[in-house]
Amino acid sequence: MEDRRDLGRSGFEQGSLYSSGRPDYPLIALDYFKDALNLHAGTVAVDLGAGTGIFSRQIVPFLGKLVAVEPSTSMREEFRRLNRGIDVVDGSDCSIPLGDVSADVVFVAQAFHWFTLPDALIEIHRVLTPAGRLALIWNERDESVEWVHELSHAMQWDTRQPYEVGRDFTDDLLAGPFGDVERREFTHSQSLDHNGLMLRVSSTSYLTIMESAERDEILKAAQRVIAGLPEKVELPYCTTTYVATALA
């Protein structure tokens, strides 16, 4: 298995698979960001690690300008196909291709666990205006639901997960040039049929880089769990957000 950062780069080289399998974000969390960050028609924001633009297209109506930054060529190609009118550029957590003090907000959706800390926080701070804000958001499957737990076990998520699910990043943010950290939790769900649920499973980072025989065995195990579910299901998620303020 590749190390965590290498997996973060190579595990998402199938942009179309990712965009077809992953959920959007709960509207209540977007409304929270709008109020907490005072988003308005003059706000300039960055979506760092933007992937295929799932979060970008949800947040852009609240902003004046959004620049998406994404290191994966495949993800950027899919982003451009799905998100006309939003700029996406090559860059990463430690190399944001923007000038100093150029953004009011930096968003990170479903990507912060791949970042190199504290270097990434220093780079994010560089592009933020004084007292600019950093906003993080994740969806994680709610494994307190029995069938979700069974599916995760079939996917070998309990032994192969490449990052610590549920980790509290408050101390990491406070150790960097940020303060006033607020962490909140929301609930969300994704409506899926059996095919959609298999796409969701297949988009998991470590599965996309496996040898086909090993991957097929895991997908068969997941399929056995899915076959016992109703044809239409609601996949539940726990959504976590952070908002932090750049220190002088």
Reported as a single tens digit per residue, the pLDDT across 69-78 is 999 998 999 9
Cα–Cα distance, 204 to 31 (Å, whole number): 28
If you average pLDDT over residues 148-162, what whole number do you get? 92
Token representation of residue 45: 């924001």
Q: In what order do the strands lie in the sheet with 44-48?
A: 87-89, 65-69, 44-48, 103-109, 128-141, 232-246, 178-193
Digit-coded pLDDT (tens) for 167-201: 999 999 999 899 999 999 999 999 999 999 999 99
CB 204 within 8 A of CB 163: no
Q: Give the burial class of 132: count Cβ atoms within 10 A of its Cβ; 0-12 exposed, 13-18 middle, 19 or more buried.
A: buried
Q: Which amino acid is at 235?
A: L
Q: Mind listing the domains of the chain with CATH numbers?
A: 4-140+165-189+237-246 (3.40.50.150)
DSSP character for 61?
G
- pLDDT band for position 211 (cuts 50, 70, 90): confident
- Higher confidence at residue 86 or residue 161? 86
Cα–Cα nearest to 10, from 71, 52, 68, 54: 71
If you average pLDDT over residues 218-228, what whole number do you get? 96
Digit-coded pLDDT (tens) for 11-46: 345 556 666 678 999 999 999 999 999 999 999 999
- pLDDT band for position 202 (cuts 50, 70, 90): confident
DSSP-derived 3-state class of residue 191: strand
Sequence-ordered alpha helix ranges (H) in 60-163: 73-82, 119-127, 146-154, 157-160
pLDDT at residue number 19:
67
Say if residue 8's pLDDT is above 50: no
Say if residue 227's pLDDT is above 80: yes
- Higher confidence at residue 103 or residue 22? 103
pTM assigned to the model: 0.89
